[in-house]
Amino acid sequence: MRKINQIIVHCTATRPDWWEKKTVDEQVKEVTRWHLDRGFSDIGYHFLVSRSGEVVQGRPVEKSGAHAKGHNSDSIGVAMFGGFGSDADDLATEHFTPLQLAATYDLIRKLQGQYNVKNENVIGHNRISSKSCPGFRVQKWLSGMKLSEATAKKPERTKPRQSKTVKASAATIAASAGTAVTSLSGMNETSQYIILAFAGLTVLFGLYIMRERIKAWTEGWH
């Protein structure tokens, strides 16, 4: 397997609606035909990304591509359909769909991890040639994508709200203790001690049950 040091991003320079009624495989075959007509042995790109975000394998990665003169031997070529009439300093969103850009970003990150390609070595064709391809500055675009990932709004963790079950348990304990204390009136001293002891045990047992419910509930929240 050859050593991969770079990932080079391209566009096919086709219009947004180019062959839109055709399947992605048919579109890839057409690009392959263009490259064969130019004398290539196969399609020049290793991966192509459709307008709908579908990623299709082109030339096998283990084979050098034909997409960036002087850089083919150690690079992977990734091309997005579109980019017709684009300029090197345009925004990526001007010429490519959100699904397409997201899929390309995910593909690049996957390839980086697989082949240990450094961030600074993910570049556009316009970085190493006078061409405008892919129609935006790849490093600037990648920085924006990484920033979006880092600042993506995460679900807010709110303080656990006491459940109705726990509230009901507390009310039941208080009511039981109150009933026991109220019934002391008119009893002799020994009976009062017995009732108070019973009320105390009831409260302790109730508090234990409530604590276990709260514990189980909060563990479920986490």
Annotated active-site positions, please?
10, 45, 125, 131, 133
**What is Dmax (Cα atoms) for the chain?**
112
C-alpha distances in Å from residue 142, one per residue of 39, 106, 145, 149, 204: 33, 11, 5, 11, 61
Tokens 């047992």 appear where? 205
Under a CB-based contact definition with an 8 Å cutoff, are residues 49 and 78 in contact?
yes
* Beta strands in the chain, from DSSP E residues, in sequence order: 6-11, 47-49, 55-57, 75-80, 122-124
Let me know the angle formed at the C-alpha of 66 by 50 and 17, rounded to the nearest 5 degrees: 25
